[in-house]
C-alpha cells in the first residue's frame, strides 16, 4: 500500500503486561511503514524491555508514563512481568492514578489518534475533551472481548456460541481477577467500558479464525470491528554467538520430532502442573525444549533433579530465564507447541504453522484454546474435575499432534492457515490504515 498522510501521529497506550507492550510495538512498526508516526507510551521498566526492538525504527518514539510509587509497588514492579500475583490490583490502581499525567502527555503531543488497551477505561475519557479520536486495540482476540462484553451486558443470557465457555475450575481460578478490584471496577466492567467508549475496535486476529466472533462483537457494541492480522514479532537477525547450543541441539533432531513447551513469562505454575507436564513429556517419548519458571519448594527441587537426570541431554533441554521462542517455533525440527495459549504465543504458532497442544492456565487462555480447537488448529488437554492436567492426557495429545495419523488434519490445517495469512497480512493492515485515516479526516 502506498503510504499516505505522513503527518498522521498516533499515540499508543498498551496495558502493562510485556506481551501487550510487545503487541502494540509490532502494530506500531507496521503502521510506521505505512507513513504513520508512532508514540509508544508505557512505564520506564516496560519501555526498557523493548528498546532493542526499536533499533532502526526512527518513526517510533517512546514516552514514559510514571505511576505512583509505593513501598509495595516500586518502579521495577510497574509491569506485570515478574509481578507477584497479589499486587495485580495494586498495579491497576496505580495505572488508573496515572490518568492525569497521561492527559498532560496528550496535551503536549497533540496526536491525531489514540490507540489504547482493554483495561484503561480512563484513556478515552481524557482524550475526548481534547478532540482526539480513540481506537481500542484488543490483543487478546475477538472471542475474549465479545465473551466479556456479552457477560457484562447480558448476564442472564447464555453466550450464543456454546463451544466457548469457562469450566467451573476456570471460573474459580479467575475469580480474583474478575471480581471488583482497583477503583471498584471488575475486569468485565473495564473491558466493556473500553469497548463502549471506542470509536473503532481493532483486534489482533484474522477472519480465517475468528470471523463470527468479530461480527458478533460488532453487533454487541455497535462499533466497527476490524481484524488487524496476527501481527507477530519480527524475528531479529540472529548473531552466531547467541543461543548456539539450543539450535545446534535442534539441528540434530529429525524434522517435526520435537515439541517446544512454554507457559509464558507471567504464569505462575503450581507444583501439580509442573509434575503433570514433566511426567507427560516423559511418557510421550518426544524430544522437548521446555521454557519454565518453576515454583519454589523442596519438593520441586528433588522432583526436578530426578527429572533432569532422566531426560536432559539428547532428550530434552530446560530453559529457566529466557527462550528465543519465535526462532525455536520456526525451526524445522519443531512438530508441536505445548502452550498455555496466551495470545502472543498463539499468534506465533499460527503464523509459523506449528500445531498446538493446549494447556490453558488462566484469564482468557481457555477461550483461546477452545477457539483453536473448534477451528481444528489445536487440541486441548482437558483437566479433570480437580483441575489436574493428568500426565497420561498430556502424553496422549502430544503423540497425536506430533506423530499419529489422527493428527493429520490439525497439522494440515495449521500449515494452510500459515500460508494463507502470509498472503493476507498486508491486506488486513492496508484496510486498517485506510480506516484510521478516515477516522482522523487525514
> Which residues are annotated as catalytic?
20, 117
Measured between alpha carbons, how far is 85 from 298 in angstroms, rounded to an integer? Answer: 21
Report the DSSP beta bridge partners of residue 12: 40, 115
Strands lying side by side in the sheet with 225-227: 60-64, 37-42, 9-13, 113-116, 134-138, 200-203, 225-227
> Measuring CA to CA, how many Å separate 354 from each of 96, 317, 373, 405, 412?
38, 19, 14, 16, 10
Contact 400, 234 (CB under 8 A): no
- All three cell numbers of 429: 493492515
CA dihedral 259, 365, 275, 19 (to 10 degrees): 70
* Exposure string for 28-54, b = 16+ CB within 10 A, e = fewer: bbbbbebbbbbbbbbbbbbbebbeebb
- Count other C-beta atoms under 10 Å from residue 227's C-beta: 23
Give start and end residues of each alpha helix (H) in 252-342. Answer: 271-284, 298-311, 325-329
Strands 134-138 and 113-116: parallel
Amino acid at each position: 500500500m502506498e503510504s499516505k498522510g505522513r503527518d498522521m501521529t498516533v499515540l499508543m497506550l498498551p496495558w502493562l503486561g510485556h506481551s501487550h507492550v510487545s503487541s502494540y510495538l509490532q502494530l506500531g512498526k507496521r503502521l510506521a511503514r505505512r507513513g504513520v508516526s508512532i508514540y509508544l507510551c508505557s512505564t520506564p521498566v516496560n519501555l526498557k524491555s523493548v528498546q532493542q526492538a526499536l533499533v532502526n525504527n526512527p518513526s517510533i518514539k517512546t514516552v514514559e508514563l510514571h505511576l505512583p510509587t509505593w513501598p509495595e509497588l516500586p518502579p521495577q514492579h510497574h509491569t506485570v512481568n515478574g509481578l507477584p500475583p497479589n499486587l495485580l490490583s495494586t498495579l491497576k490502581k496505580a495505572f488508573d492514578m496515572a490518568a492525569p499525567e497521561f492527559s498532560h502527555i496528550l496535551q503536549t503531543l497533540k496526536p491525531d489518534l489514540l490507540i489504547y488497551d482493554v483495561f484503561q477505561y480512563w484513556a478515552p475519557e481524557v482524550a475526548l475533551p481534547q478532540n482526539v479520536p480513540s481506537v481500542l486495540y484488543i490483543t487478546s482476540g475477538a472471542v475474549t472481548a465479545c465473551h466479556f462484553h456479552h457477560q457484562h451486558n447480558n448476564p442472564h443470557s447464555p453466550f450464543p456460541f456454546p463451544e466457548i465457555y469457562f469450566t467451573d475450575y476456570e471460573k474459580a481460578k479467575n475469580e480474583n481477577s474478575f471480581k471488583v478490584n482497583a477503583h471498584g471496577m471488575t475486569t468485565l466492567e473495564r473491558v466493556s467500558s473500553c469497548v463502549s467508549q471506542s470509536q473503532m475496535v481493532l483486534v489482533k486476529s484474522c477472519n480465517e479464525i475468528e470471523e463470527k466472533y468479530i461480527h458478533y462483537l460488532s453487533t454487541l457494541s455497535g462499533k466497527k470491528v476490524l481484524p488487524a492480522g496476527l501481527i507477530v514479532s519480527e524475528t531479529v537477525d540472529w548473531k552466531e554467538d547467541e543461543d548456539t547450543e539450543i539450535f545446534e541441539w535442534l539441528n540434530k533432531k529429525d524434522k517435526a520430532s520435537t515439541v517446544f513447551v512454554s507457559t509464558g513469562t507471567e504464569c505462575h505454575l503450581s507444583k501439580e502442573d509442573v509434575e503433570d507436564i514433566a511426567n507427560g513429556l516423559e511418557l510421550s517419548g518426544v524430544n522437548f525444549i521446555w521454557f519454565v519458571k518453576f515454583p519454589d519448594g523442596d519438593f520441586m527441587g528433588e522432583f526436578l533433579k530426578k527429572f533432569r537426570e532422566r531426560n536432559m541431554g539428547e532428550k530434552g533441554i530446560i530453559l529457566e530465564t529466557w527462550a528465543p521462542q519465535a526462532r525455536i517455533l520456526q525451526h524445522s525440527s519443531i512438530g508441536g507447541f505445548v502452550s498455555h495459549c496466551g495470545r502472543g504465543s498463539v499468534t506465533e504458532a499460527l503464523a509459523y504453522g506449528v500445531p498446538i497442544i493446549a494447556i490453558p492456565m488462566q484469564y482468557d487462555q481457555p477461550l483461546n484454546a477452545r477457539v483453536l480447537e473448534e477451528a481444528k488448529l489445536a487440541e486441548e488437554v482437558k483437566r479433570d474435575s480437580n483441575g489436574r492436567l493428568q500426565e497420561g492426557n498430556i502424553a496422549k495429545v502430544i503423540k497425536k499432534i506430533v506423530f499419529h495419523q489422527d493428527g493429520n488434519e490439525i497439522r494440515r490445517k495449521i500449515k494452510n492457515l500459515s500460508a494463507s495469512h502470509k498472503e493476507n497480512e498486508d491486506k488486513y493492515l492496508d484496510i486498517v490504515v485506510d480506516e484510521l485515516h478516515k477516522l482522523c479526516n487525514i
